[in-house]
Amino acid sequence: MISNEDLEELQNTFDILEILVYEVGLNTISLQKFEVLSDVEKLGLLLSTKHLFRNIRRWGQTFLNHCETREKGLGKKLLREYIVSTAVNDLSIPLKTIQHSQQDMADPILDSPEEVLRVAVESVYAM
């Protein structure tokens, strides 16, 4: 018998796939391909660099919230891992993230000064 938790996880997977196909326009991904991706890779599919911060707020946050329901703190960790992983080739995404994380902003991407500093340091060391 399938548990409620398993059904919720399946629903979350379908929600994210729906966003990828109908909102992001990624119509070449199957459920099987999606399931083998890491959470950081899934987040990367949701966030195109062209409209990164709009996408973080529109679609990325939905995925990160689903991750938070699985494990407390996982959403923040995945966002940090994604941002730092982009720093290997280019520091523009970490820089823009830090700029969009000022504490006086209405909706900062990173919500604490400690997290901003951690992303900055890890991004520099990732290069």
8 Å CB contact between 97 and 91: no
**pTM beyond cutoff 0.85:** no
Task: Name the percent of the chain lying above pLDDT 70.
Answer: 98
Instruction: Report the alpha-carbon distance of residue 15 to residue 37 in Å, rounded.
Output: 16
Could you read off the pLDDT of 2-12 as tens digits, one per residue? 888 889 888 98
Mean pLDDT to the nearest integer, 47-65: 81
Two structure tokens written together for 100: 């969009």
Instruction: Report the alpha-carbon distance of residue 125 to residue 81 in Å, rounded.
Output: 13
Instruction: State the maximum Cα–Cα separation within the chain, in Å, rounded to a whole number.
Output: 49
8 Å CB contact between 47 and 93: no
What pLDDT is attached to residue 1? 78
- List, in order, residues 6 or more apart from 103 with CB less than 8 Å away: 113
Instruction: Report the alpha-carbon distance of residue 43 to residue 60 in Å, rounded.
Output: 6
pLDDT at 111 over 90: no
Two structure tokens written together for 88: 């290997």
Mean pLDDT to the nearest integer, 64-89: 90
